[in-house]
Amino acid sequence: MTKHYKIIGLRILSWVITITGLIIFIGNVHEYGLHFTYNQVLAIIIVILLLVTTMYFSVTPKLLKWNEKYELVWWLCYLCAPIYLFLTNLYNSTDLGYTIKFWLFFGGGAALIIISKYILKNKK
């Protein structure tokens, strides 16, 4: 398998992890009621923007070339990583299950993208 297909596979895997986490998170909200705090709303907005931006920059040909030159998506991931770690602690630090689900939802895709970028960069 070529390097190009491996990168596409990692991106698809990161989208699947993030979308699965989002479905689990929405299921929990539906089960326990719609009581959002400011941090939860902020986290949902950030992760949806990150997911949409990553997909958009990965699919559009002109933006894909521009993204490879300037690496905007990777910088977005680097900037969002400390935010989701901070918001995880604010989300519900007393319940380990919620913390794990929130990490999966908010950080799964972005973390996988960062790790894959690091691995691919160090292989050269």
86 DSSP 8-state letter: H
Residue 121: what pLDDT?
Answer: 72
User: Residues 2-56: pLDDT tens digits?
Assistant: 666 666 666 666 667 666 666 666 666 666 666 666 666 666 676 677 667 666 6
Contacts of 79 (CB under 8 A, 6+ apart): none
Segments in 60-95 forming alpha helices (H)? 61-70, 72-92
Residue 123's pLDDT is 66
Q: What's the N-to-C CA distance of the chain in angstroms?
A: 16
Record the tokens describing residue 35, joined without a space: 């009581």
Q: With 60 as the cut, is the pLDDT of residue 107 above it?
A: no
Backbone conformation region of residue 80, classed left if phi is above 0, alpha if psi is from -120 to 50, else beta = alpha
pLDDT of 88 higher than 60: no
